[in-house]
Structure 1
Amino acid sequence: MSRRVVRQSKFRHVFGQAMKADQCYEDIRVSKVTWDSSFCAVNPKFVAIIVESGGGGAFLVLQVAKTGRVDKNHPLVCGHTAPVLDIDWCPHNDNVIASGSEDCTVMVWQIPDHLTLRSITDPIVVLEGHSKRVGIISWHPTARNVLLSAGSDNVIIIWNVGTGDPLITLDELHSDLIYNVCWNHNGSLICTTSKDKRVRIIDPREQCIVIEKEKAHEGARPMRAIFLADGKVFTTGFSKMSERQLALWDPKHFDEPMALQEMDTSNGVLLPFYDADSSIVYLCGKGDSSIRYFEITPECPYVHYISTFSSKEPQRGMGFMTRRGLDVSRCEIARFFKLHERKCEPITMTVPRKSDLFQDDLYPDTPGPEPALDAEEWMGGKNANAVLVSLRGGYIPPKNRELKFAKRNLLDNKPPLGPRRSYSTCESNFSRVTLEELLDEVKSLKVIVQSQERRISELENKLSKFTNGTA
């Protein structure tokens, strides 16, 4: 009798393919800052890329559908006074993005659906609380307006973006540089790695370490750790011999890894990207020219190598599209945005299927843009899983929704100086962001009118010369 040795999995033949040149984003000056973040963030509407810029830090925002050459004068998002180190789109509003910078600040931006003709320089809110550069930005997966930032001051701050106030400051849990921070599936815990070679699982609301693992990887190079959907922790790091490793851990038994694999001797930090709907982890090393992917299963050996997508040029960074932005008609289960020195190249991962029908097993209901909690509910101790949406028929992103920011009045806490006439606040239907968009449109129309007036004047001069010449 023959024994079956081939593992049964619908993802055994995941196929990676780079998009053609006309579907790439060309002429982009990708940032050269030596920081181990992905430098790229994507959602169903936009691609954001940290770029080189003079006089401070900036990033570029492009509409996903508008590929091709990017004009050298394309407007930027620029308000930081030093290089931008990390960016992250809000999972509950596709028009809101946060950025962290070497200038020690976090800024939150509203991006209009129709990008303006001038650079965006005014953030919705500036979050100030770190004393050193801010290199990690991460939104809460289920609670509205909750944003986490981590800096080189070894401090993690969790903000309420709706008010601009810090909700939680974790300033005594890390004694060394924090390499990365990841929320679990419902945002009740965070997992961190740091330069002291420890992986910590932290309850942010209790401000305590639940459990930690010393020397999860014994090498001196940076580690990464992410939560999986079932609460297990997946890490990448280096051995004593500088070999790259991956490991899977059960936090209930943190002494030994459930699985440990050595990869190669490259020195690029492996950035893990996790798709909870397919239980696939993709590993992209900075400076590598490949993407390795593994399926995580409940049975031994738990981490199963699937395949490697290879290309010729090394990657400077990588963006990972959420499930909502995938093409379900092509059985696409993942899409990456690979940064080269001067361009961004989409790479699509598909599962070959003969049928044109919607594949229910590939596309279970996935987290949608509606938050499950408010910031106050989360701070009160409530937890909730993400609100799911169906991808049957494809996902259509909602129109621009503004982020409501309750601006604090500094005069509220001061005693009145004397009798004062009370002025009612503006009760128009226009928010500050909407007014800014209208002003932007007015300015852009003025520029168009001025250029047309110059053109009319030039044509009139030519006409007069022609008339005089034939007279």
Structure 2
Amino acid sequence: MAWRFAASKFKNTTPKVPKKEETIFDVPVGNLSCTNDGIHASADFLAFHIEGEGGKLGVLPITAKGRRTRNDIGIIAAHGEQVADFGFLTFADELLATCSRDEPVKIWKLSRDHSPKLATEIDVGGGNVIAECLRAHSTADNILAVGSHGSTYITDISTGKTAVELSGVTDKVQSMDWSEDGKLLAVSGDKGRQIVVYDPRASMEPIQTLEGHGGMGREARVLFAGNRLISTGFTTKRIQEVRAYDTGKWGAPVHTQEFVSTTGVLIPHYDADTRLVFLSGKGTNKLFMLEMQDRQPYLSHVFELTLPEQTLGATIGAKRRVHVMDGEVDTYYQLTKSSIVPTPCIVPRRSYRDFHSDLFPETRGAEPGCTAGEWLNGTNAVPQKVSMAPSQSSSSPPPPEPVPTPKVAQTPAPVPVPTPAAAPRPMSNNNSSSNNVPSVQEQHSVPKKEEVRELDYRPYEKENGVHTPNAETNSTQGNSSPISTISPEPVTIVKPASTPATDSVSTPSVVGPAFGKKVPEQPPVNFRKPIGASNRVPLSQRVRPKSCVVGQITSKFRHVDGQQGTKSGAVFSNLRNVNTRLPPESNGVCCSNKFAAVPLAGLGVIGIYDVNEPGKLPDGVMDGIFNKTLVTDLHWNPFDDEQLAVGTDCGQINLWRLTTNDGPRNEMEPEKIIKIGGEKITSLRWHPLASDLLAVALSNSTIELWDVANAKLYSRFVNHTGGILGIAWSADGRRIASVGKDATLFVHEPASREQRVYERKTVVESTRAARVLFACDDRIVIVVGMTKSSQRQVQMYDAQTVDLRHIYTQVIDSATQPLVPHYDYDSNVLFLSGKGDRFVNMFEVIYDSPYLLPLAPFMSPVGSQGIAFHQKLKCNVMAVEFQVCWRLSDKNLEKITFRVPRIKKDVFQDDLFPDSLVTWEPVTTGTKWMLGEQAAPVFRSLKPDGVFSSIPRAITASVRHSEMPSSSSTTNSAAQTPSTSVTHSTTEKHHHHQHHQHQEPTSVPTPSSRNMQSCGVESTQQPDRKQVSIQYSEEEGSEYFTDELDDVDDEIDDAAAAARAAENIRIPACLLQTAAQKSEEEDEYDVMETYL
């Protein structure tokens, strides 16, 4: 069973969305209605659909970037009608095959210097065949398979004749693919419900006929993936489905997996070298990366990427074009209505200086294994494999860079390399003289090291009351570069001495400032102080932890793991008669710390279940409380676990008192009934700080505030001109936001004397459903809605501006049901899930670009009817749980716990659990709040008594030396501080996680200041963590070792070895700090691999 714990090298492959200047934009693609993949790539060219009459295709060099209008691209007027399918020949990067329903198959020859030319035409089947799709052979040259209605044809391009005609397909052929060894051909027909497999040289009849998908979709795909056959289509419920068949024993699929309910098919692609499967949802913005395995699960999840735009087509690039010295194993090309986005898929490694042969095995070369005639006569020779190492010569030289022509305008390189030699990736070095530049073929790509990025939760400085983000921040682009909150010190570029040209490339050394100066010693700062009712602070001054990673900004919660059902230890089974027709404004299921309430079918029936006693529900009639009218919304009192408020369609609020000692609940009566009026109640929201204060949204566009204890109406305000879709309180309870069917967002301040109201119009396209909530310490208003094309999106608005300035919009996916959001104020994690969804998408919300940091999504085998979250008090923090919820399906109510994988669970994880916002105890009463009492939120530490905290613990570093030599007074004084120690051990290596915070340059810390704790030393100067150095001195001089954070462990070993020969040694506190943090990140990395 050791294979279960042997993580794949490609398990952590991560696609990196490029910047806009690295994409091809303003391409005239438009809205396509084709049934093919939309775009194809060879090692030299990109071919794709463009808008316009007739069957036209656009062509660009594979290296093209930037703006490309219609005048800048090559155009192939392929056919009179729309192109049915097209694709490059496997062993001819410049030959493109196209087919249409009215004309013969055509082969086009592409050129960088001239317009595309027609090379030949093939009359398949005597010229009376309507070609639907085509596929070039995987091992033989000039063999092309063409699919039609009921038949498939094997043609020889070199002779222009049909060699074999295959029968046995029902209806028209929708997709085809050759096996990797070129022996078998798989065909998908009958709208994806039939899959036939041929051995074309052995028989004209299928050797296997497989049962496909149950649904009748417009499109279907079939793809060979090693010894598996993958098919994508739809279920009977119009849900995207993937099936995997074993080619060794045909029959039932060995793996079946459902994805999203939509009308667009999943476009599959497979990389035989990495065994990665790419699934692109057509018409959606999702990319699913899976890995093919030999054991269950045969398709293992690797990554789910949310793309900025909808996908109209997708393909993966030729393996010979990847940048191996950047760790890039594949390039995924996405075709949108106006752009082509090349997305590199990178395997993270500490360093990319050397070629990683384990990531890049020998790949298929550019020369075919045999000719068309040889293959038809029975030869099974496969193409020779070539090495991808930069120093090895390939079977064919890489193509030259495109030459600017009147048809395709190319952007000149900043500094052209004065050599005629060609390379797939030319380099320009502004710091090297021309006479010392080696030939381009000998150069290796040197990865650009990225600087350290930090998530800063401080309140931003404001000018005239308006939020002013960093100058580099682009508030409208979802893929803008992450903004660093550190101003790195200037670095010096040291040019190497002039030497004769050699085969190796001389890389300039980047040297940072040495840690030779004395760092002032100060006592450590304990910033985690329990905050009680007597010490309340505004949300804007709340001290939060800070994430610090190398390169791209990522979240500490990015590897979140969801434990479901029996794994989490709680599930209510045998659930029946769940109400699936609740209004879209209602969340449906809700829970307190004691009970879960589930709306059931019937006239206002709600089932009540004790969350501490899960199990199988008894057969018979479902017990529950009866409201005697249709239920529109329901919520538990956050300060009373036994009080449930239920809104009805007759304008009545029923308050129920429920205990564990209740008898048959169908005989109970409400504790109190509040009659609002004749209008239907659409939403209920309890005040987050004041007890017995309830906000009620009515169908007549009115929001009312009620004291439910005294059945008294406090306030009423009408701003919307249409129905209200959603309301939400701010965390401090001073504002309430609402979004309505008039597509307007309002933020009210009901307790202020002026009754201030802020307005923002046209915040949603589709007024069918929308939700609103506050985030980032009430500085951001988030609106979750839909577009008219059923795209589900998240919009962010600045709650600190009068006009509620728009900040950012991100499309999540496409579906028919709206998203229901939940926001965790402590972790800033936003949970998104809709009715019928199998996924729970999660993002960490930050108050700066990129605004939404994606986390690992949670996936369930069945769709949900609703999700209800517990308060933070129910989380087991020692198991690193930061959210607990109940997920309702048609037959079960199961508990889900979201936690972060950590190894050291014997300490309290301060970096994940700041002082929690107390939502389970009231701060004031509704009466006092309405009289103007300024109640502030209460924060409380979740650390259990008697548990050590991970923050105050000292950083220890292992130095392999029998006895620590004497050092300077500065080093000795630092070693004597209580929070910094150096141990002498030859066997142990201690890794302690440190929580870093940045402190304003002031002598008196404030609650809003960012403290920095680095090895027990509080410093007002931010160390340059991009350059980490070790200094040691010898009798005759000193030497400096510099490296970057990725090689910290290697530098520590070098320093320890140098200590054995040196008289004095000093390891800076910053290095110890970064080494400990790096070790902790590696622990998370390994645990993440095990969990996935």
* TM-score interval (norm. to shorter): 0.7 to 0.9
SS in 2 for 1:329: helix
Secondary structure at the aligned position of 1:393 is classed as: coil
Matched, 1:14 2:14: no
Larger relative contact order (C-alpha < 8 A, sep ≥ 6)? 1
Cα distance per residue 1:257-295 (max 9 Å; x no partner):
211111222121111100000001111112211110110
Counterpart AA for 1:140:
H
SS of 1:20's partner is: helix
State how far apart, in whole Å, the 2-side matches of 1:33 and 1:204 are. Answer: 33
Secondary structure, aligned partner of 1:382: coil
Alpha-carbon deviation of 1:255? 6.1
What is the rounded CA distance, in whole Å, between the counterparts of 1:120 and 1:10 in structure 2?
49
CA displacement at 1:126 relative to structure 2:
0.8
Write the distance in 2 (CA, Å) between the matches of 1:50 and 1:240. Answer: 29
The answer to whether the Cα contact below 8 Å between 2:578 and 2:599 also exists between their aligned partners in 1 is yes
The whole-number CA distance in structure 2 between the counterparts of 1:374 and 1:231 is 25
Q: Verify: 1:184 aligned to 2:730, yes or no.
A: yes
Partner deviation per Cα, 1:26-62 (whole Å, 9 max, x = no partner): 2222213241222111122111111123xx3121111
Contact 1:197–1:223 (CA under 8 A) maintained in structure 2: no
Whole-Å Cα distance in 2 between the matches of residues 117 and 62 of structure 1? Answer: 12
Is 1:360 aligned to 2:910, yes or no? yes
Q: For 1:120-135, what aligned pairs fall within 5 Å after superposition?
A: 121-135=668-682
Code of the residue aligned with 2:731 in structure 1: it is H
Query: Which letter does structure 2 place at the counterpart of 1:2?
Result: K
The equivalent residue for 1:435 is: none
Is the contact between residue 559 and residue 855 of structure 2 (CA under 8 Å) also seen in structure 1?
yes
Describe the SS at the equivalent of 2:666. Answer: coil
Q: Over residues 191-215 of structure 1, what are the superposed CA-to-partner deviations in whole Å (9 max), with x where a residue is unaligned?
A: 0011111111012245845211111
Alignment partner of 1:382 is 2:933: yes
Give the alignment partner of residue 924 of structure 2, picking from 373, 392, 417. Answer: 373
Aligned position for 1:339: 888
Structure number with greater Rg is 2
Q: What is residue 391 of structure 1 aligned with on the other side?
A: 942
* Residue correspondence of structure 1 range 19-418 to structure 2 within 5 A: 19-20=565-566, 23-28=570-575, 29-36=577-584, 37-53=586-602, 56-71=603-618, 72-73=620-621, 75-78=623-626, 80-119=627-666, 121-170=668-717, 172-205=718-751, 208=755, 210-228=757-775, 229-253=777-801, 254=803, 256-356=805-905, 357-366=907-916, 367-393=918-944
After superposing the two structures, state which structure 1 stretch, 84-93 or 110-119, moved more: 110-119
| Structure 1 contact 157–169 (Cα < 8 Å) conserved | yes
Change (3 A) 1:92 1:386: farther
Using the TM superposition, give the Cα deviation of residue 8 of structure 1 relative to its aligned residue in structure 2, in angstroms: 4.6
The one-letter code of the counterpart of 1:198 is T
Q: Secondary structure at the match of 1:221?
A: strand
Whether contact under 8 Å (1:156, 1:169) holds in the other structure is: yes
Moved more, 239-248 or 383-392: 383-392
1:235 offset after TM fit, Å? 1.1
Quick one: structure 1 residues 314 and 360, their matched pair in 2 at CA, closer, same or farther if it must change by over 3 Å? Answer: same
Q: CA deviation at 1:177?
A: 0.8
**Greater mean alpha carbon deviation, residues 67-76 or residues 302-311:** 67-76
Q: Deviation of residue 178 (structure 1)?
A: 0.5
CA drift at 1:160: 0.7
8 Å contact from structure 1 (residues 81, 103) kept in 2: no
User: Is the contact between residue 335 and residue 346 of structure 1 (CA under 8 Å) also seen in structure 2?
Assistant: yes
Task: Tell me which moved more, 249-258 or 93-102.
Answer: 249-258
Give the deviation of 1:240 after TM superposition: 4.0
Q: Distance in 1 between matches of 2:911 and 2:592?
A: 23
Q: Distance in 2 between matches of 1:261 and 1:344?
A: 31
Cα pair distance change 1:8/1:318, threshold 3 Å: closer
Matched residues in 1 for 2:747 and 2:554: separation?
33
User: Which residue identity lines up with residue 393 of structure 1 in the other structure?
Assistant: P
Q: Is there any run of 5+ residues in structure 1 with no aligned partner, and where?
A: 395-471
Tell me the alpha carbon deviations over residues 383-415 of structure 1, each in whole angstroms, 9 at most, x when there is no partner.
313334443339xxxxxxxxxxxxxxxxxxxxx
Q: What is the CA–CA distance in structure 1 between the aligned matches of 2:871 and 2:671, rounded to whole Å? A: 24
Whether contact under 8 Å (1:146, 1:160) holds in the other structure is yes
Q: Tell me if the contact between 1:330 and 1:350 (Cα under 8 Å) persists in the aligned partners.
A: yes
* Whole-Å separation in 2 of the counterparts to 1:188 and 1:177: 23
Which amino acid in 1 is paired with 2:559?
H
208 and 23 in structure 1: CA distance in 2 versus 1, 3 angstrom threshold: same
TM value normalised by structure 2: 0.35
Instruction: Tell me the secondary structure at the aligned position of residue 691 of structure 2.
Output: coil
Report the residue type matching 1:155 in the other structure.
T
Cα-to-partner distance string for 1:353-401 (whole Å, 9 max, x where unaligned) = 111222233233331532111111111012313334443339xxxxxxx
Moved more, 134-143 or 214-223: 214-223
Whole-angstrom distance in 1 between the partners of 2:637 and 2:774: 19
- Paired residues of 2:871 and 2:919 also in contact (CA < 8 A): no
Residue 113 to residue 186, structure 1, CA distance change in 2 (3 Å): farther
Tell me the CA shift for residue 242 of structure 1: 3.0
Output the amino acid matched with 2:449.
S
Q: Find the aligned partners of 2:873 and 2:903 in 1 and give their Cα distance.
A: 23
State the secondary structure of the residue aligned to 2:882: strand
Matched letter for residue 127 of structure 1: I
- Indicate conservation of the 8 Å contact 2:582/2:632, yes or no: no
CA distance, structure 2, for counterparts of residue 364 and residue 5 of structure 1 = 25
The 2-side partners of 1:233 and 1:255 are apart by: 8
In structure 2, relative to structure 1, the CA distance for the partners of 1:265 and 1:118 (3 Å cut) is: closer
Corresponding position of 1:436 = none
Residues 118/77 of structure 1: CA separation in 2 closer, same or farther (3 Å cut): closer
Which residue in 1 is equivalent to 2:1082? Answer: none
Relative distance call for 1:348 and 1:120 in structure 2 (3 A) is farther
2:733 partner amino acid: G
* % identical aligned pairs: 27
* Pairwise CA distance, 1:74: 5.4
SS in 2 for 1:69: coil
Over the aligned positions, Cα root-mean-square deviation in angstroms equals 2.1
Kindly indicate whether the alpha-carbon contact (under 8 Å) linking 1:173 and 1:209 is maintained by their aligned counterparts in 2: no
Partner SS, residue 377 of structure 1:
helix
Residues 136-156 of structure 1: per-residue CA shift (max 9 Å, x gap): 111110001111111222222
Question: Do the aligned residues in 1 keep the contact of 2:759 with 2:804 (CA within 8 Å)?
Answer: no
